[in-house]
Amino acid sequence: MDTDGYLNRAKHSTMDAERNCMKKSERSGAFDHIFATTVKEQIGKAGYGDWRTISAPDAVSLGYGFPYPESLPEDDLIEATETVLTDEDEQVLQYGGGSYTEQLETFLADRAHSRGIDCGTSNVLVTNGGTRAIDTICRAFLEPGDSMFVEGPTFMGAISVFRNHGVELTSIGVDADGLDIDALAETLRLREQQGRDSPKLLYTIPTFQNPTGVSLSMDRRKRLLELAEEYDFVIIEDDAYGDLRYTEHDLPPLKALDDTGRVVHIGTFSKTIAPGVRTGWIIATEEILAVLRKLSAGGTNTFTRSLVAHYCTSGKLAANIDAIRRAYGERKDRMQQSLETHMPPTAEWTEPTGGFFVWVTLPAQIDTEEMLVDAAENGVTYLPGSMFFPEDTGNNSLRLSFSYVSPDEIDRGIAALGQTVREWT
């Protein structure tokens, strides 16, 4: 199995890209001198999707947050295509779309309302996926040199989106109750004392966080909103995993507790329908949405959006969420049991009650990026923890996803991981 070369290439992709870039800039076709400053700074650095090079043919993939194959509704999408294109004739395929296109906003507003969010259709903007939503919100608020806060660790895709805006990123720690609010308060207080600006934005995944799986406690949710008001920043609430809870205990989204309009809420169908439909949404005040609409160049894919609307309004979304909650809950339990069985006592891991991920912390001397080559040889891949921090840290941690492979494969993968960690301890 030639995983060594493959994974080494992945590991060193940043350096390679930098070298390539230096060589290529001497040739025709490079216009680096015309690029915007923020773009120049990112040339040759790791970017969105680079993590997809981490794979090994015979290893169990616990790296990617892919939905498991059987959860993807091929037949329902074929049926939705037939229904929508037969019912609506051409409107669905025109600029602006037709009645199905419009129904999606109504469905999302009703659904948000049932989760305690005070909103109507004028507060909902459908987007080409959740990551595009993050980027559009950044466009509205950020300019180069601005400051923003994120969780450390946080979604690696978001970090690369923020970097493209040329902002100064600061991460605030996460523990079993989510974002460390005391640390946040202290950082804000110190910055004020030093005469530095408050962050413009704070990006958080408060429920079943990527990559840790933890949720922000109710008390901390309230304190976060108070701090946003006190220090005058806007919160991006990424609720990608909010529907995927495996216990009865439910926490309200931050947006449901928000009476100032400071929370800009993001949702996505990537986990509850399929990543390939690239359909997400933003819930915010009409004033903020007016700006975001202006920045949504060309608008959404009305065709997919109409299929998704039909899928949702015909009750299939609710049924699918029930089904995948059971399936993911089983996978989550299996991973927890397997970690108990196979990991050495020096390893620690989170105990999520929802989402896709478990975060593992190993003894400080282990570099999980280096360990990945051996892990792949032993039969498992994961994502190294350092990918999830804007700073150069997290080297002894890693993210496991229980979403993609079967429960038995999870067992095999965790056994291989346990063996690898023991070899490295």
Is 322 one of the binding residues for a second copy (CB under 8 A)? no
Q: State the CB neighbour count (10 A cutoff) for residue 290.
A: 12
Lookup: tokens for 344: 């050495």
Q: Identify the DSSP state of 52.
A: G
Is 303 one of the binding residues for a second copy (CB under 8 A)? yes
C-alpha–C-alpha distance, residues 264 and 142, integer Å: 14
Among positions 156, 251, 277, 283, the unique one binding a second copy when judged by CB under 8 A: 277
- How many residues touch a second copy under the rule CB under 8 A: the total is 92
Is 21 one of the binding residues for a second copy (CB under 8 A)? yes
Residue 204 or residue 361: which is nearer to a second copy going by CB? 204
Is 66 one of the binding residues for a second copy (CB under 8 A)? yes
C-alpha–C-alpha distance, residues 207 and 185, integer Å: 20
What is the nearest approach in angstroms of a second copy to the Cβ of residue 159?
A: 12
Is 25 one of the binding residues for a second copy (CB under 8 A)? yes
Is 382 one of the binding residues for a second copy (CB under 8 A)? no
What is the nearest approach in angstroms of a second copy to the Cβ of residue 337?
A: 27
Is 26 one of the binding residues for a second copy (CB under 8 A)? no
Applying the rule CB under 8 A, the residues between 143 and 162 that interact with a second copy are: 143-144, 157, 160-161
Residue 169 or residue 234: which is nearer to a second copy going by CB? 234
CB 157 within 8 A of CB 131: yes
Q: Identify the DSSP state of 280.
A: E
Piece of the chain touching a second copy by CB under 8 A; list 68-76, 107-115, 148-156, 388-396: 68-76
Piece of the chain touching a second copy by CB under 8 A; list 139-147, 172-180, 181-189, 355-363: 139-147
Q: Residues 73-112 vs a second copy: string with x where CB under 8 A? A: -xx-xx--xx--xx--xx-xxxxxx---------------
C-alpha–C-alpha distance, residues 234 and 260, integer Å: 10
Residue 42 or residue 337: which is nearer to a second copy going by CB? 42
Piece of the chain touching a second copy by CB under 8 A; list 110-118, 238-246, 287-295, 375-383: 287-295
